[in-house]
Chains A and B, each alone.
Chain A
Amino acid sequence: MRGQRRFFTLNATPENAPRPRFWQRLGLVLAILCISLPANTFADEALTIGVFPRRTSDATLKMFSPLANYLGQKLNRKVVLNSAPDFNSFWENVANQEYDLVHYNQYHYLRSHSMYGYRVIVRNEEFGRSTISGAIVVRKDSGINKLQDLQDKKIVFGGGRMAMISYIVATHLLRQAGLEEGDYLTQFALNPPKACVATFYRQASAAGAGGRILELPSVKKLLDTSEMKLIAVSKPYAHLPWAVSKNVPTDIATRLQAAMASLGDSEKGRAILKRARLTGLVVSSDSDYDPHRETVFQIVGERY
């Protein structure tokens, strides 16, 4: 069982310090062996990457398989890309430390960090930006020009209540504008583009989504973005994180971080990023997600 796997660190304790020279040497040899033993043990096992199932398994595998292969080469070990069929399975795997490297949304990261010790090493850079804002999108001809106009209106949010940007941050914008829950009707779409599509086809008065949702080519294919506008955009939040399990040794985490952050430096790496629909991966730390924590607390009432 992965959960029973043990990791050893390079930290030497005073108890390990040998007294005589022979024992000193013997101790050193044993220490090296002890150090190398768990490392080799980890190295023998495959590194598992988990991705939040916001897309179909096939799509997820297609997008991230090149990255997994690349990391396998960089780490000189087998890397397995795990695509959970649904969120419950995914989250169960997260809880069970099944993933060594996991990619999910900011809210999931906060929970997994708090509950299971996951630690962010890099975050997405999409369209040249490593931050993302939440926004409220309306039709230009809706007559809605400010958030207060959404009183008693129906707002459709992309994803569910755990969608960090399109629901939590978007709801935070509404709260800042004085709209409490119940002041408007909440509806959920499968994802942010579909929320915009629903608004475009007048099935809702507004959509909660990312700040650059109208610039996405996939969205432009679905609707005439020239008829839509943003009436509120939040401050930027750090983009989707890639976090390592607490069981992953620091050096491995560091190597993963370096390998992922340097993807944009090579043609091959850029191709991998392009396949993953990214423009880059930037080094990130847990403190980058403090704004998320505050916002989650204000909206969801959960303190992480």
Chain B
Amino acid sequence: MQPARKLPITSFLPKSIRGRYLVVAVLISGVLLVIAVAGWRYVKQTTGLQVQRIQQRAEATDAIGDLDSQIRNLEASLHKEIIQPGEVNSRILARHFRYLRAATDRLLESDWVKADPVLRALGEQLEADNDRLERKVQNLLNLRRNITNWFPAVGTMQKVMQPNYQRFSTQVRLAIEESETNNKLPEQTEIYKLLVAVRHASVRLVSEFRLLVANRFGIFSSQPNVAMQTRIANVNIFSREVSRLLAELGRLDKSNKLGIQQHESLQAMNLSFQRWSKAYKQVEEMLYGKNWRTDLPVLRNTIAPLIRETRQRISTIRLELAVGSARDITQLTKATKQLSDFVIFLAVAIMLLLFVGFLVIRQTLLVPIGKISSALKSEAHGKEEITLPKATTDEARDLVEAFDEMRNQVRQRQAHLDFLAHHDPLTDLPNRVLFRDRLQNAINRVKRQNTRASLMFLDLDRFKQINDSLGHNTGDKLLQMVADRLTRHIRHVDTVARLGGDEFAIIIEDVSEPSQVAIVAEKILSAIDEHFEIESRQLHVTTSIGIATCPDDGTEVNNLIKNADTAMYHSKENGPNGFTFYSAEMTARMTEFFSKELALREAIVNEEFVLYYQPIIDAKSGSVSGCEALLRWRHPEKGILAPAEFLDVLEDTDLITPVTKWVINQALCDFKQFLTAKRSQFTLSINISARLLEEQLIIDTLRPALLFHGIHASKIILEITEDTLVKRSGQAEKFLTALKDLGVRIAIDDFGKGQSSLNRLRRFPIDVVKIDKEFVCDVPTDAYDSELVTAVIAMAHSLKKHVIAEGVESSAQYDFLLLNNCDAVQGYLFSKPVSADSLVEYLSERTRRCS
């Protein structure tokens, strides 16, 4: 078994960014969820705990407030009891203790105290203190219920001093009464005085003592100790006075001067006074002592410390409550801060996460995309060395693969497009673009190597007819076969290109002599001249070749092409199946051609064209049966020019179209005048160019013109040369049929000049045959021409065609034609071509002459 390899953590991640995104999103969502739940629970617990604590503290605070209030009430009631004792106070105090216990119980029962053992212990101590305090207060109240216990001196005063003083006073009174009874005795006067003095001194003594007691209670002075000193001094004074008086009485008693009652009273007084004095000393000591009243020490030493201690405990609990509140506020603040910090942390974490995410996306997606983008640019710039990024994710790999596939396809398409751009799709030969490039290269090599290169321009003869008659497919196949033959008959270093239509070009390099090129041209002509078999049909075409040589005929591409093209046109003019080398005269002729074209265009604009009319004479009656419209160019410098001067240029350019339209409209317009001047059988002949057979122009122009001028179509004869019928028989048949449908008549012009065919006369809807003037001019002197004209007239008549002879210039000619039943004649014998106005006059003249 192989040892387990430690896989990197990334190996557990999905390969695709979508998968990784899902994993990371789930992880982050999970973490955020956990954090959110934890935060929610933390806040809930914290706030819940704080709310609970606040409630607990509120409960405890309320109990503490009650405690404090009851303690204050208790103190107030105690003070009241001290100042104004009474049974009501006892009940009030009992009620305060009841409330105090209830408040303490509430405090002990509060959750806040229950939760803290120390506080609970403190509360229990408070409860114990309350019990102790109640007991002490009850003791105090009990103490105050008993006056002797309350004020210890009062007992002595009541039990000893008061009875002894009463006995003393009684004895003094008895002794005084005896003196008053025995007042006649001399010694009684002194005794009486002494006894009265004793009574007075004792009364003052007791009064001072009473003031002493009153001072003790602070009744007459705010400084009881000072007042008491004075009273005590007075008590002592009067006590000594009483003692002295009693001693005087005792001295008189020893001398037996006192009566019996007085003797006994004195003995009793001494005894009572001694007892009173002794008790007074005790009372004086008590009144001066700390415990002169027993309630105050209890209050001061027991109750007050207990209350103070209770207050201190309440204060301590209050402090604990305040600390608890402060701690909770601090914790809440801390929790809030932690939450704030956490939010900030979370924000920073998310930012970091976004940054890390960006880095990851950058590393896994953007960088490969950037590299692929660079590769695309490099590819676009055609660089060969392109490094594709290493794909780490499915998406990047797909992108790289897509790019690679796209690059291959683009390259294939580019190659294909390049081929299409530089080759003819039909023949796969180089097209004009590639041809020009190769020609430029050939010219460059000629310049470098000082050699020659020839350019052949080929145009297939009659290709258009083949194409029109046999269809485009046949034409295309023919072109392919021609291309194949051309390719096979040149060297591989030479270039055959198709420039468009039936035009081909061949670049032949390293030419030393023009004869070499001529040989090649001959070979090509021979190769093309052989028949082509297409769809079981044998076709025969020829080609015309124009040849220009570099550097003799030009060292620039355009120049060389133009010259070869010119040569090719000259070759065509010279007849099919030939080749022509370029010469400078060709250029001159072409220059003339272009200058004439320019002048014709200006002529159209300047309306320099005019129509002349040559009358057509009915041969038998000699009357004017019609006229032929003949185009003339009123040249500003050369005067009136015949069509031979410019018709070829018109037909080789597109100028034939506007001119033809103008001719039809103008001729019909003029013809309207002729009809008013002549009878209604009068006809108008208009020549139609062979170039226009393929177009709808004639019909589209003629029909509205006839309607406009109100001319019946049968009065119009359109003349088409026989040569046109021969060369474009396909188009001609269709064209002539359309014209016949319009109602006009058709005439074959220049009949006999070309390849006259009986079949053609029979096949086409021809109404009139016009015998060319070349045949007419030598009759009747030339036998051949005379027989030919006679045969043509006979043949036409046999086909029920009307015959017009042109170029009749002599009476002999007219007579011959009349003799051979020619229907109508036309020529200088009757009238040369004249303007429309002149024709009108001519017609008027002829009418007058006939009448």
Interface residues of A (CB under 8 A from B): 56, 85-88, 156, 160, 187-191, 194, 197-198, 201-204
Contacts and interface: CB of A to CB of B under 8 A. Distances in A.
Interface in B111-147: 117-119, 121-122, 124-125, 128, 132
Given A56-B121, A88-B128, A197 B327 contact: yes
A76 to B, nearest CB: 35
A160 B327 contact: no
B330 interface: yes
A198 B117 contact: no
A160 B312 contact: yes
A156 B318 CA distance: 12
Interface in B304-343: 309, 312, 315-316, 319-320, 322-323, 326-327, 330
Nearest to A154: B319
Interface in B538-552: none
B128 A198 contact: no
B125 A187 contact: no
A202 B316 contact: no
Interface residues of B, number: 20
Contact of B323 (A85, A87, A160, A203): A203
B118 A56 contact: yes
Contact of B117 (A56, A88, A188): A56
B312 A188 contact: yes
Nearest to B117: A56
Contact of B322 (A56, A85, A190, A203): A203
Nearest to B119: A190
Contacts of B125: 86-87
Contacts of A197: 323, 327
6 contacts: A85-B124, A160-B309, A189-B319, A189-B320, A194-B323, A197-B323
Contacts of B315: 187-188
The 8 closest A-B CB pairs, nearest first, are A201-B326, A203-B322, A198-B323, A56-B117, A86-B125, A201-B323, A188-B316, A203-B323
B319 A156 contact: yes
B287 to A, nearest CB: 27
Given A187-B316, A198-B319, 12 more contacts: A86-B125, A87-B125, A160-B312, A187-B319, A189-B319, A189-B320, A191-B118, A194-B323, A197-B327, A201-B326, A202-B326, A203-B323
B117 to A, nearest CB: 5
Contact of A190 (B118, B128, B326): B118
Contacts of A203: 319, 322-323, 326
A160 B117 CA distance: 18
Interface in B710-756: none
Contacts of B320: 189-190, 194
Contacts of A187: 315-316, 319
A232 B326 CA distance: 26
A229 B322 CA distance: 22
Most buried by A among B125, B309, B320, B323: B323
A88 B122 CA distance: 13
Contacts of B323: 194, 197-198, 201, 203
Nearest to B118: A190
A56 B124 CA distance: 12
Contacts of B319: 156, 187-189, 194, 198, 203-204
A56 B122 CA distance: 10
Q: In this complex, which of A187, A189, A191, A203 has the most chain B Cβ atoms within 10 angstroms of its Cβ?
A: A203
Contacts of A88: 128, 132
Interface in B391-429: none
A100 B315 CA distance: 35
Nearest to B132: A88
Contacts of A198: 319, 322-323
A197 B118 CA distance: 15
Contact of B327 (A87, A156, A201, A204): A201
B327 A86 contact: no
A193 to B, nearest CB: 10
Of the listed residues B122, B309, B319, the one surrounded by the most CB atoms of chain A closer than 10 A to its CB is B319
A191 B326 CA distance: 18
A139 to B, nearest CB: 12
A36 B119 CA distance: 49
A1 B128 CA distance: 26
B699 to A, nearest CB: 113
Contacts of B124: 85-86
Considering residues A86, A88, A190, which has the most beta carbons from chain B within 10 angstroms of its beta carbon?
A190
Interface string B777-790: 00000000000000
Given A56-B117, A160-B312, A197-B323, A190 B122 contact: yes
B110 to A, nearest CB: 16
Nearest to A201: B326
A86 B316 contact: no
Contacts of B316: 187-190
Contacts of B122: 190
B322 to A, nearest CB: 5
B300 to A, nearest CB: 16
Nearest to B322: A203
A37 to B, nearest CB: 41
A194 B125 CA distance: 18
A156 B117 CA distance: 21
A88 B119 CA distance: 17
A201 B128 contact: no
Contacts of B326: 201-203
A93 B309 CA distance: 20
A187 B313 CA distance: 10
B117 A201 contact: no
A88 B313 CA distance: 15
Contacts of B119: 190
A87 B121 CA distance: 11
A86 B255 CA distance: 76
Contacts of A204: 319
Nearest to A59: B117
B312 A86 contact: no
A102 B124 CA distance: 24
Nearest to A56: B117
A85 to B, nearest CB: 8
Nearest to B321: A203
Nearest to A223: B327
A18 B320 CA distance: 70
Nearest to B116: A190
B557 to A, nearest CB: 95
A56 B118 CA distance: 7
Contacts of B327: 197, 201
A175 B125 CA distance: 31
A156 to B, nearest CB: 6
A204 B315 CA distance: 13
